[in-house]
Amino acid sequence: MAEFDLVIRGGTVVTAADTAACDIGVKDGVVHALAKSLGRGRREIVAQAQTEADELIIANCDLDNCTFGKETAFNFAQHRRIEHYSIITTQTGVVPTT
């Protein structure tokens, strides 16, 4: 019986800390294993990009980790109001420098 639903052979995995050539084991739509050599998969793909269009990027990110940024720097209700931009919304033409 296959250990994974899908095994991608010879992929390149890039993280914030490292880059590694390895097999990628996917089970139930989730990456479960990264290793130099994985067991069998029900389906197997040999990763071989011949052009940039062949490349596949998968990003796992937890958007809940962005809460601080969304509530502070990207708080549009507090910081992105039209009155803060009156000079660029009302001025027309060039203003000479003194």
- Burial label for 33, CB within 10 Å (0-12, 13-18, 19+), is middle
CA 88 vs CA 22, 82, 95: distances in Å = 52, 10, 12
For the entire predicted model, the pTM comes to 0.53
Domains of the chain plus CATH, in order, are: 4-48+61-90 (2.30.40)
Is the sign of the CA dihedral 18, 21, 27, 29 positive or negative?
Answer: positive
pLDDT in tens, 56-90: 777 777 778 777 777 777 666 666 666 777 777 77
Contact 56, 31 (CB under 8 A): no
